[in-house]
């Protein structure tokens, strides 16, 4: 009676390629039939509808079985009601089985039209429109218009109207005016309900599509944010007001050894603004940032102080270099003229010995000023590090050979204490300048303290993340009066020193994310360079 049309429709769709299969926003399969705009939006709604139909069919069969006198259902045609209820259970069972696996448009369209026809027949068997049975016809009508917006949805409304008219008037040959009017009103209600359902369905679909687009965009941003947080050079920790860790990136784990859902270490909980923390020989700057409108949650940003200082140092040196270069050039030009005049004067044959001594003093001070200018110009050229991985022991042996070539080992010894497998990231030229400056200074003071027995040592030790290169001598050590400002420019303990050597060493170390410090010894001096491990 009712299944021929939907099957024919489905065959036409399949034969002429009017349909396509896509993924739905509900995570199931979505069928789109272009000619009728039939849409099954995923398994969820269709599966719930199939379970409802099966439950309704079973309930009708149970009620009819308990109602021996047929006063509730099937009053007008009990046998017809029983046959239709049996067909209803059989069809609903098959449809529920199909919907639970993989719904397709043929099963969906066929079942909707079949169910409308069955319910229309059961309504006739139970007494017609006046019994209120017609309200059960509205459920498949609403579901079909949710699943099939467009022409097919109105087709279901027309099919329901025709089925009711046929079962109420043509089949029993009853054309009473009042009943015909009621049937017409029911048909109008079907079309009105179809229009309203489709309008709401389109709005719902638009909202769901917009929500899906927003969800995709949010997931995309989350992936970007997650990747950025995981690969950022600094550490980050997200905490709740009690200090419990909600999130952290790998760098924070490497520095503090933390995991999710534990309390922060005590030295991190009391941070109000920023704090410097030392972990495994590394100076870390921890900054707290409160998150507004988040129940007092906050973030801790952890940065390597050495890297920050190196960046600040590059900015400082860029501006300082321009100033010092211009000043040094302005001094060098008249200084060259002064030195040349002094040399010409010293070559005059009629100068007395006292006058020769004065020209010698002029020459010495000109050379001292020139050395200061050379050091200043070297600072002004900047120290942009070209960092490479150095195997430290072979490099120190090479430095030892170069240093002995410049300072022949007649009255001193230079020893190296270093493991073979130590690697450090450092600019080789910068390390050469630093060690030459420290070794030359140490040798000069060691010779003064130990005539003929000056000793220098390059000693390397390590911990988990850092390498410590110590330059030791057996000289007098550094006077306590100048230790505080030892690495400041123009701070010197010698009459003819420029006070720029150790300052230059500090700047070069900072450019390589390292630091230099003076370690007090019982005898002699020790300058320690703290470097990163490669």
The pLDDT of residue 409 is 67
pLDDT tens-digit map of 369-391: 777 777 667 666 655 678 899 99
Distances from the Cα of 478 to the Cαs of 415, 442, 504, 517, 521, in angstroms?
A: 21, 10, 18, 12, 10
Provide the β-strand partners of residue 40.
31
**Strand duo 412-417 + 454-462: pairing:** parallel
Dist CA 480 CA 233 (whole Å):
39
Instruction: Identify whether residues 208 and 274 lie together within a single domain.
Output: no
Query: What would the mean pLDDT of 492-512 be, rounded to a whole number?
Result: 76
Does a structural domain hold residue 344? Answer: no
Q: How confident is the model at residue 416 (pLDDT cuts 50, 70, 90)?
A: very high
| Nearest C-alpha neighbor of 398 from the set 344, 436, 370, 441 | 436
Does a structural domain hold residue 64? Answer: yes
Three-state SS at 415: strand
Q: With residue 176 as reference, give the H or E element that holds it.
A: none
The tally of domains found in the chain comes to: 3
Per the CB < 8 A criterion, the answer to whether 255 and 284 are in contact is: yes
Q: Which of 212, 244, 259 is the last residue of a domain?
A: 212
Give me the chain's average pLDDT, please: 78
Does a structural domain hold residue 454? Answer: yes
Instruction: Identify whether residues 168 and 268 lie together within a single domain.
Output: no
Does a structural domain hold residue 325? Answer: no
User: What percent of the chain shows pLDDT beyond 70?
Assistant: 83
With 70 as the cut, is the pLDDT of residue 501 above it?
Answer: yes
With 70 as the cut, is the pLDDT of residue 17 above it?
Answer: no
Instruction: Identify whether residues 162 and 55 lie together within a single domain.
Output: yes
Instruction: Identify whether residues 412 and 283 lie together within a single domain.
Output: no
**Cα 470 vs. chain centroid, distance in angstroms?**
40
Please indicate whether residue 358 or residue 527 has the higher confidence score (pLDDT). Answer: 527
Query: What would the mean pLDDT of 120-134 be, rounded to a whole number?
Result: 78
- The neighbour count for residue 317, using CB atoms within 10 Å, is 20
Dist CA 194 CA 200 (whole Å):
10
Dist CA 415 CA 434 (whole Å):
17
Phi, psi of 521, rounded to the nearest 5 degrees: -120, 160
Per the CB < 8 A criterion, the answer to whether 512 and 453 are in contact is: no
Instruction: Identify whether residues 63 and 160 lie together within a single domain.
Output: yes
DSSP state letters, 242-255: T-BEEEE-HHHHHH
Residue bearing tokens 């072979």: 394
With 90 as the cut, is the pLDDT of residue 471 above it?
Answer: yes
With 50 as the cut, is the pLDDT of residue 193 above it?
Answer: yes
Per the CB < 8 A criterion, the answer to whether 530 and 517 are in contact is: yes
Q: Which of 243, 276, 305 is the last residue of a domain?
A: 305
Where are the alpha helices (H) located in 258-303, listed in sequence order?
266-269
DSSP, res 452: T
The pLDDT of residue 320 is 66
Instruction: Identify whether residues 34 and 178 lie together within a single domain.
Output: yes
Residue bearing tokens 């448009």: 105
Does a structural domain hold residue 345? Answer: no
Instruction: Identify whether residues 434 and 396 lie together within a single domain.
Output: yes
Instruction: Identify whether residues 205 and 241 lie together within a single domain.
Output: no
Q: Ranked by mean pLDDT, which of 72-76, 129-133, 194-198, 376-380 comes out on top?
A: 194-198
Per the CB < 8 A criterion, the answer to whether 76 and 125 are in contact is: yes
Please indicate whether residue 218 or residue 283 has the higher confidence score (pLDDT). Answer: 218
Instruction: Identify whether residues 239 and 152 lie together within a single domain.
Output: no
Provide the β-strand partners of residue 235.
302
Does a structural domain hold residue 366? Answer: no
Please compute Rg for the chain using Cα positions. Answer: 46
Tokens matching residue 92: 């609903």
Does a structural domain hold residue 34? Answer: yes
Q: Which of 305, 332, 355 is the last residue of a domain?
A: 305
DSSP state letters, 299-324: EEEEEEHHHHHHHHHHHHHHHHHHHH
The pLDDT of residue 284 is 83
Query: What would the mean pLDDT of 17-28 be, rounded to a whole number?
Result: 35
40: containing domain:
4-212
DSSP state letters, 356-414: HHHHHHHHHHHHHHHHHHHHHHHHHT------EEEEHHHHHHHHHHHHHHHS-SSSEEE
Dist CA 60 CA 526 (whole Å):
98
Distances from the Cα of 91 to the Cαs of 50, 58, 86, 289, in angstroms?
A: 10, 12, 9, 63
CATH of the domain at 390: 3.30.565.10
Starting at the earlier edge strand, list the strands of the sheet with 515-520. 412-417, 454-462, 466-473, 525-532, 515-520
Instruction: Identify whether residues 57 and 206 lie together within a single domain.
Output: yes
The pLDDT of residue 526 is 93
Instruction: Identify whether residues 46 and 168 lie together within a single domain.
Output: yes
Does a structural domain hold residue 512? Answer: yes
Please indicate whether residue 116 or residue 133 has the higher confidence score (pLDDT). Answer: 116
- The distance in angstroms from the start CA to the end CA of the chain is 83
Tokens matching residue 176: 């009473």
The pLDDT of residue 528 is 94
Q: How confident is the model at residue 473 (pLDDT cuts 50, 70, 90)?
A: very high
Query: What would the mean pLDDT of 347-368 be, rounded to a whole number?
Result: 79
With 60 as the cut, is the pLDDT of residue 104 above it?
Answer: yes
Instruction: Identify whether residues 17 and 145 lie together within a single domain.
Output: yes
Query: What would the mean pLDDT of 337-348 be, rounded to a whole number?
Result: 80
CATH of the domain at 258: 3.30.450.20
């Amino acid at each position: 009676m009712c299944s021929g049309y939907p099957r024919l429709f489905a065959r036409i769709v399949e034969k002429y390629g009017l349909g396509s299969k896509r993924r739905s926003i509900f995570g199931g399969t979505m069928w789109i039939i272009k000619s009728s705009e039939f849409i099954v939006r995923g398994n969820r709604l269709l599966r719930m509808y199939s379970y409802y139909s099966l439950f309704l069919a079973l309930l009708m069969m149970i009620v009819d079985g308990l109602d021996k006198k047929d006063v509730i259902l099937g009053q007008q045609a009990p046998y017809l009601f029983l046959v239709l209820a049996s067909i209803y259970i059989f069809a609903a069972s098959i449809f529920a089985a199909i919907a639970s696996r993989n719904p397709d448009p043929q099963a969906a369209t066929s079942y909707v039209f079949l169910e409308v026809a069955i319910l229309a027949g059961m309504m006739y068997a139970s007494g017609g429109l006046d019994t209120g049975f017609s309200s059960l016809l509205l459920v498949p009508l609403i579901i079909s218009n949710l699943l099939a917006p467009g022409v097919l949805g109105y087709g279901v409304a027309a099919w329901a109207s025709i089925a009711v008219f046929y079962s109420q008037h043509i089949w029993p040959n009853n054309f009473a005016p009042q009943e015909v009017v009621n049937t017409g009103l029911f048909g109008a209600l079907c079309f009105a309900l179809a229009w309203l359902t489709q309008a709401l369905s389109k709005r719902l679909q638009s909202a769901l599509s917009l929500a899906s687009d927003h969800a995709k965009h949010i997931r995309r941003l989350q992936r970007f944010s997650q990747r950025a947080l995981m690969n950022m050079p600094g550490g980050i920790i997200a905490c709740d007001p009690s200090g419990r860790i909600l999130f952290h990136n790998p760098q924070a784990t490497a520095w503090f050894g933390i995991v999710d859902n534990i309390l922060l270490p005590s030295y991190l909980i009391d941070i109000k603004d920023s704090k410097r923390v030392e972990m495994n020989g590394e100076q870390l700057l921890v900054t707290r940032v409160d998150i507004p409108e988040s129940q007092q949650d906050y973030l801790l940003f952890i940065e390597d102080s050495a890297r920050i200082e190196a960046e600040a140092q590059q900015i400082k040196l860029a501006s300082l270099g321009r100033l010092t270069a211009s000043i040094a050039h302005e001094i060098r030009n008249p200084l060259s003229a002064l030195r040349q005049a002094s040399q010409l004067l010293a070559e005059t044959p009629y100068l007395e010995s006292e006058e020769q001594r004065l020209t010698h003093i002029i020459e010495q001070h000109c050379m001292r000023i020139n050395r200061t200018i050379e050091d200043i110009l070297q600072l002004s050229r900047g120290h942009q590090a070209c960092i490479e991985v150095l195997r430290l022991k072979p490099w120190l042996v090479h430095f030892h050979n170069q240093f002995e070539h410049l300072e022949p080992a007649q009255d001193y010894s230079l020893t190296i204490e270093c493991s073979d497998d130590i690697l450090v990231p450092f600019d080789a030229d910068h390390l050469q300048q630093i060690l030459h400056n420290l070794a030359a200074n140490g040798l000069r003071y060691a010779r003064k303290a130990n005539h003929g027995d000056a000793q220098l040592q390059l000693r390397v030790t390590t911990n988990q993340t850092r390498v410590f290169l110590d330059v030791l001598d057996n000289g007098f050590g550094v006077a306590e009066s100048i230790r505080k400002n030892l690495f400041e420019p123009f701070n010197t303990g010698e009459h003819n020193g420029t006070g720029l050597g150790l300052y230059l060493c500090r700047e070069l170390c900072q450019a390589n994310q390292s630091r230099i410090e003076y370690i007090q010894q019982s005898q002699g001096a020790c300058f320690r360079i703290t470097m990163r491990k490669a």
